[in-house]
Amino acid sequence: MKNLFKILEIKKDYNLNEFTIELSGKEHPIFKAHFPNNEILPGFIQIDIISNILEHKIKKIKKAKFLSIIKPNNKIKYFVSTKDEIEYKIILKNLENSKLSEFSYEI
């Protein structure tokens, strides 16, 4: 996961945090493996990115919906909410505010 993304902006609020990231280019090994000549960000990596940023060890993925393809060099926003600091809900959106995926997990 090294050099896959860089954090551009962090906004923290009481129970909703927002992380804007920029993905690396298609030359990154993740994109070369998934898929050659049609590079997209795998769903499980979308989850790994935010667990890495938040330093979470996920115990259980409760729900996952992947709605749109995420390509190399895309800028995406992670919206993170929690009520109890055990279960987290994550929504990914592009900069145009279209939902890309949604998932929840427990730590």
Q: What is the mean pLDDT of residues 53-80?
A: 97
> What does the pLDDT read at residue 15?
82
Look-up of token digits 């009520």 = 83
Q: What does pTM read for this prediction?
A: 0.94
Q: What is the mean pLDDT of residues 21-34?
A: 94
Q: Both ends of the chain: CA-CA distance in Å?
A: 20
> What does the pLDDT read at residue 14?
84
> What does the pLDDT read at residue 1?
78
Q: Is 61 helix (H, G, I), strand (E, B) or coil?
A: strand
65 token code pair: 């919906």
Kindly list the distances between the CA atom of residue 41 and the CA atoms of 16, 67, 70, 91, 107, in Å, as whole numbers in the listed order. Answer: 24, 12, 5, 15, 23
